[in-house]
Amino acid sequence: MLAVAGLGHTLWDGVHEPGHALAFGVLITVGELARWGAPPGEREPAPLGAAGALAYALLGRSGGGPTTHGVLQVVAVLVAAQLVACVPHVARGSGPAPDRVARRILTVAFAAVCFQPLCNSGRVADWFDEGPHYVLFMLLFLVLTALCDAVLAALLLRSRTVPQNFKSMGGTPLPYGPLLRDELRALIGIGSAVCATGVVMALGVAVAGLWALPVLCVPLLLTQVSFRRFVAVRTTCRQTITSLARSTEIAGYTPHGHARRVAVLCTAVGRELGLSGSELTVLEYAALMHDIGQLSLVDPVPEGATATLSAAEQRRIALLGGAVVRQTGVDTEVAVVVERQADPYREQPLSARIVRAVNAYDDLSGESLIGPLGALEQLRLGTGHDYQPEVVESLARVLARGGPTPVLPG
């Protein structure tokens, strides 16, 4: 509705300052096209487009003179640029997600609604003139816009992780607080670079005119290249850990797909319990490599079910696994979780409690053992010493929803 209103108003009333509209429209389009080949899961695949849209929303002067475009024209330029940029992506079969586009429009519109009426009415010039107070005023809008974007991003992520029929299945929606916390933490990374560049663009154009745009785009382009390299390294690390986790399956110590099932289910339970993004990463890595200590055994455990072994043997395998994990170079916290997964739950960190409960569930739910319902009942019987009751009940809620719900990137 906002996009239709912006396009309709601009077509009816005409484009104010078409040169500026065209320049920022081209900048946004180029930024959106630059996301071509972005790795899956990248939080902000088009930072230049986001910064350009934010700069246009916060543009009050150009080359020393006032601008006259309003909120609806900002929305219209953004929507038009998004439509032009999505054509080659759609032709290639990789168009932008509708919710990502809607989030971008709402965030930019929020910034424009807060800034443009004050600027066009002349109140900003009367209150702050062009001194340092004006910069602080722009930074205030920057913070408000970043908070708006984080709130919208967390809402969208929560909607993706909750089945539509969760109430009828006895499940509960994921807690909103940890999702919002993760989004706020993400602002320190690429989000802060996008917002800062947007404000700097608006201030630069206010003094030097449109010629400032190409010069101010270079730092963000370099940031985007560096960030993509970081994402590629992180993806390679995850793939290496996944391959290492499969060594127990290849050697015949654990059933096929056991490590991956435990990791996916652990991540779902961790989200249910409100773990943050970094904590979920540690949990996933530890769950993938939780059985790697079995490679030290002379004879494999039947079906790899370590939950049926004695407590002393479980601890020995866990300590051997932690020693192996420490040699891989991953975070020390991952090795700690692997080492302590067999301890009594009152002595474990939360991630180790989750790994122990989920691993036991997958071990015991095999066809030759007691099955899924029997495994869950066995976990509930062991909540006095072996398994934390809250973890077991969170696992039960995840299973009641039909298993883990995948989280889409972004």
How many C-beta atoms lie closer than 10 Å to residue 252's C-beta?
A: 10
Task: Answer whether residue 241 is part of any domain.
Answer: no
- The reply to whether 410 falls in a domain is no
At residue 390, the pLDDT reads 92
Distances in Å between the alpha carbon of 256 and those of 249, 265, 362?
A: 6, 16, 12
Q: Do residues 167 and 225 share a domain?
A: yes
One domain, residues 344 and 285: yes
Are 257 and 165 part of one and the same domain?
Answer: no
- Confirm whether 405 is domain-assigned: no
pLDDT band, very low/low/confident/very high, at 311 (cuts 50, 70, 90): confident
Of 380, 404, 11, 332, the closest CA to residue 171 belongs to: 404
Contacts of residue 248, defined as CB under 8 A and 6 or more positions apart, other chains included, come to 254, 258, 259, 291, 292, 294, 295, 304
Determine contact, residues 182/277, Cβ cutoff 8 Å.
yes
Q: Evaluate whether residue 366 is within a structural domain.
A: yes
Token output for 389: 């009751």
Phi, psi (degrees; rounded to nearest 5) at 65: -105, 155
Cα separation, 13 vs 54, in Å, equals 23
Share of the chain above pLDDT 90, in %: 13
Domain match, 24 and 159 both: yes
CB 266 within 8 A of CB 287: yes
pLDDT tens digits along 23-59? 999 988 888 887 765 555 556 667 888 888 999 988 8
- Dihedral of CA atoms 94, 278, 267, 232 in degrees, nearest 10, equals 40
DSSP 139: H
191 φ, ψ (degrees, to nearest 5)? -65, -40
pLDDT at 158: 79
> 3-class DSSP state for residue 171?
coil
* Residue where a domain stops, chosen among 208, 235, 262: 235
Residue 353 is predicted with a pLDDT of 93
Domain assignment of residue 374, yes or no: yes
C-alpha distances in angstroms, 320 versus 39, 71, 133, 292, 325? 35, 62, 60, 8, 9
pLDDT for residue 164: 43
Q: Does residue 249 or residue 303 have the better pLDDT? A: 249
Domain count, the chain: 2
353 or 127: which leads in pLDDT: 353
Q: With contact defined as beta carbons under 8 Å apart, do 241 and 333 qualify?
A: no
Tell whether 298 and 208 lie within a shared domain: no
Residue 23: inside a domain: yes
Report pLDDT for 179. Answer: 76
Backbone angles phi, psi at 44, to 5 degrees: -130, 90
What end-to-end distance do the CA atoms of the chain give, in Å? 23
Percent of the chain with pLDDT over 70: 87
Boundary (domain end) residue, out of 209, 235, 261? 235
CB 183 within 8 A of CB 37: no
295, 391: one domain: yes
Instruction: Tell whether 226 is covered by a domain.
Output: yes
Count of Cβ atoms closer than 10 Å to residue 311 Cβ: 12
Q: Are 148 and 110 in contact (CB under 8 A)?
A: yes
- What does pLDDT average to over the chain? 81
Is pTM beyond 0.85 here? no
Which pLDDT band holds residue 92 (cuts at 50, 70, 90)?
Answer: confident
Q: Could you tell me which residue, 127 or 369, shows the higher pLDDT?
A: 127
**Any idea what the Cα angle at residue 198 is, between residues 409 and 195, rounded to 5°?**
50
- Residue given tokens 């009828």 in the structure block: 168
- Residue 64: predicted pLDDT: 78
Confidence of residue 124 (pLDDT cuts 50, 70, 90): low
Note the pLDDT tens digit of each residue in 144-189.
Answer: 888 898 899 888 877 775 544 444 334 455 667 777 887 887 777 7
Counting beta carbons within 10 angstroms of the beta carbon of residue 131, is it exposed (0 to 12), middle (13 to 18) or buried (19 or more)?
exposed
**Looking at the structure, do residues 231 and 253 belong to the same domain, yes or no?**
no
Asked whether residue 257 falls in the same domain as residue 195, the answer is no
Q: pLDDT at position 163, please?
A: 47
Look at residue 76 and tell me whether its pLDDT is greater than 90: yes
What's residue 161's pLDDT?
59
Of 9-13, 120-124, 273-277, 308-312, which range is least confident? 120-124
**3-class SS string, 322-352:** HHHHHCCCCCHHHHHHHHCCCCCHHHCCHHH
Pair (276, 176) in one structural domain:
no
CATH of the domain at 396: 1.10.3210.10
Instruction: Kindly indicate the confidence band of residue 255, based on its pLDDT and cuts at 50, 70 and 90.
Output: confident
Number of H helices, E strands in the chain: 18, 2
pLDDT of residue 377: 87
By residue range, what is the domain housing residue 290? 246-400
Both 268 and 392 in a single domain? yes
* 270 in the same domain as 221: no
| Stretch among 63-67, 237-241, 298-302, 349-353 having the lowest mean pLDDT | 298-302
Residue 240, in any domain of the structure:
no
* DSSP secondary structure string for all residues of 78-131: HHHHHHHHHHHHHHHT-PPPHHHHHHHHHHHHHHHHHHHHHHHTTHHHHHHTTS
Say yes or no: 203 and 260 in one domain: no
Q: What is the DSSP string of 290-306?
A: TTGGGGG-SSPPGGG-G
